[in-house]
Structure 1
């Protein structure tokens, strides 16, 4: 026998009242149709894949501040002109340049075995060959407990665990502590060098590089090297077997003075509110071990192609769409901070910002941090994106991407099209970050999501900023 819950008349009236009084969508039928057309066009276009192919092949690795990054800026400006952007410019800034140089690292006890390692950004050179016993630390917490000068004449090795693969990259921040601050404690302890387990989720003998953190205004004065996860596993097994560990290493990494970097700016000028800016982008630089396809050639390609498809529409959207190819992200968000400083007087006109910088797998979620009155607009954008397999996430999620952090801190609203990052930390900052890891169909899905959402944000009259 079917059972029914009693429903009061007042409850029914409330349901019908809510339904009848629901606010109309801020997206017009014409805008919705255009957004859906952009999605279909993007899904059938090779533009994004062609862009990332060109960047990684014609320019290659693009370490922040290097000659290669300068070539990448010229490449980005020429691409913007070729794709029909209304305004193309390069905004330069100065930065300190760190160069990796040559490295060798070898296990010398209990036997000879080459290790696969890479210097971490900001590390100092070894003035001569370092031959020393190794002191094993299970994790970063064990290293932070050492006393001053306790490691004099030793090499410190900080273990840890390989990151668990996850859609969101959960665990990166915690694992990254050994890379960022480990040197401060090893150096305080008097160590001759620090070796850490790579921050990554892979099981390949590819070490992960990355930037360390400064201690105030000071950088490391010792070599700091990340070894691959299999090599770290091997060192752990030897330690657990009570084998004496020693290493030999020599690193040439060092700072080489001030150089120029810059951000490439590509604008599609708005038809009615050209002073209002919808900012999207990715970072143009990469680490030098691979060709920077996933991190972040893909992001540059996704956002540039999305904007270029919008530029092909019969009419420009109301607001200006700005693509920023940020420089020197990997070495400390330097381009992001330079942009925020250079445009500080005009940040009130930046109505929303977002970045693609989490690989090239499909977008699965849309999150936002806009004022409450604009939430319905983002909710309705998510409905249009839903056939792409994208769900609506939180409406009070700060962020927008690494290079958006300085803008968000100044009050610029953000959205983020979250990508599936399950393989991201297999490739991140390694020699394995190459073009073959990008699936053209997955890249096209990203471009479709960006093209539709950015068009709708640029063509709306809804105030995304305002009071929260």
Structure 2
């Protein structure tokens, strides 16, 4: 009855696909590498027996990295452009805005200045502050350039996109610098005039969404999702090759189970997540929310052995996670709060029950993510297999459930207000209510 568990713990399907993805090179949205990853994922789903595996294409704002420079009184400081930064040059005083908390921008004199902002969020602060919120708070305060300073040691400059749905290219040039370069800039050049230059190309491009089905052909479906794209500076192993590899392994395990699924599971692997959740926003607009039983989105799994589940206030999801964890005798971390920064979110905003599955490794930030150190050696085959077994149990339980209640979007909006997300989402143009 539980042979599928042993098969999953000895399966190489997910890990082999992970290696396939990281060996592509850049999987930046709209590039040939992303297209190769979409096609490889479609083919892998077809190979395990999923039905109607195909790619649905859509147009996006492309962005191709050129050269970047941050000229200081002591010469050029090493930096990389943030995707969807405009091609532009800006000059002004360098102003250190610390951790980039809302009050840091209120206290800084940023009119005509270059803002230097840390990627960190202090432990005492109640919520995570996304890079884009820091960027647009700097814009609102009058900054003409943005320097994003990593908080992880190792001479690793961070990447990560800017821009909004309405205006995909950001209004001011933006670069990332390593923790070490950022510390030197703050110590030696705060208050001095610096010049920031970003060179890039911004063609129209094409991304896509991979879809496939398993289980009975029911009207209502559980969505099992991930994103295949990754930033162009690294392999994108954790973010999010491991998520897509987990989805493939879970789909294989669901097909291997003796017990038939109660309803259809739709596997959806999105492109263009890293540039504003373009694939998942489109998907959420295309489907009838009532046709979705629940969403299980894998993004950031594999960083640690303990899976972390954001339940977004849906009690039934939390109960399902707890029941599966108890059944397997395996620890998990469960958070009831909202997390509006991955491909589950466009569904949650419409009141659809959704889980974000990531890892609890004790680090509040991205770790190696969004740097050139996001490489395969950071992951373990054992951890991917263990995670896939638990996620399989959760997806199967949700597929077998009679009904998982949706919530009124107004209740989601109220939760965002209570948890102090709303103001930042309005700043970034991400408030959907």
Q: TM-score range with shorter-chain normalisation?
A: 0.7 to 0.9
Instruction: Show CA shifts across 1:427-465 (max 9, x none).
Output: 11111111111121111111111122212222x242112
CA distance in 2, matches of 1:287, 1:175: 15
Other-structure match for 2:185: 235
Which is further off, 217-226 or 352-361? 217-226
Aligned: 1:93 with 2:53 = no
Aligned: 1:388 with 2:330 = yes
Question: Structure 1 stretches of 5 or more lacking a match?
Answer: 1-32
Say which of 74, 92, 102 aligns to 2:39: 74
Aligned: 1:253 with 2:203 = no
Instruction: Show CA shifts across 1:65-98 (max 9, x none).
Output: 1222122211111111112112212122211112
Aligned: 1:196 with 2:196 = no
Other-structure match for 1:433: 374
CA distance in 1, matches of 2:405, 2:63: 38
TM-score scaled by length of structure 2? 0.82
Listed as ranges, the matches of 1:194-343 within 5 Å are 194-198=146-150, 201-214=151-164, 217=167, 219-239=169-189, 245-256=192-203, 258-270=204-216, 274-314=218-258, 316-343=260-287
SS of 1:89 mapped into structure 2? strand
SS of 1:209 mapped into structure 2? coil
Larger CA Rg, structure 1 vs 2: 1
The answer to whether the 8 Å contact 1:86/1:269 transfers is no
What's the RMSD between the two structures over aligned residues? Answer: 3.2
Say which of 68, 72, 79 aligns to 1:103: 68
CA distance in 2, matches of 1:104, 1:138: 20
CA distance in 1, matches of 2:212, 2:93: 51
The answer to whether the 8 Å contact 1:268/1:321 transfers is yes
Shift in Å, 1:348: 1.1
Listed as ranges, the matches of 1:109-148 within 5 Å are 109=73, 111-112=74-75, 114-126=76-88, 132=91, 134-139=93-98, 140=100, 141-144=103-106
Would the alpha carbon gap of residues 174 and 411 (structure 1) be closer, same or farther in structure 2, given more than 3 Å must change?
Answer: closer
SS of 1:322 mapped into structure 2? strand
The answer to whether the 8 Å contact 1:364/1:390 transfers is yes
Other-structure match for 2:292: 350
CA distance in 1, matches of 2:180, 2:367: 13
TM-score scaled by length of structure 1? 0.76
The answer to whether the 8 Å contact 2:148/2:158 transfers is no
CA distance in 2, matches of 1:400, 1:462: 27
Other-structure match for 1:23: none
Instruction: Show CA shifts across 1:17-74 (max 9, x none).
Output: xxxxxxxxxxxxxxxx54xx433332232322111101111x2221111222122211
The answer to whether the 8 Å contact 1:162/1:229 transfers is no
Say which of 446, 451, 464 aligns to 2:392: 451
Shift in Å, 1:123: 1.2
Instruction: Show CA shifts across 1:148-177 (max 9, x none).
Output: 9x42xxx514244745699xx986426663
CA distance in 1, matches of 2:115, 2:340: 35
SS of 1:449 mapped into structure 2? helix
Question: Structure 2 stretches of 5 or more lacking a match?
Answer: 409-433
CA distance in 2, matches of 1:206, 1:467: 41
Shift in Å, 1:184: 4.4
The answer to whether the 8 Å contact 1:159/1:236 transfers is no
CA distance in 1, matches of 2:164, 2:345: 19
SS of 1:282 mapped into structure 2? strand
Other-structure match for 1:410: 350
SS of 1:402 mapped into structure 2? coil
**Aligned residues between the structures:** 403
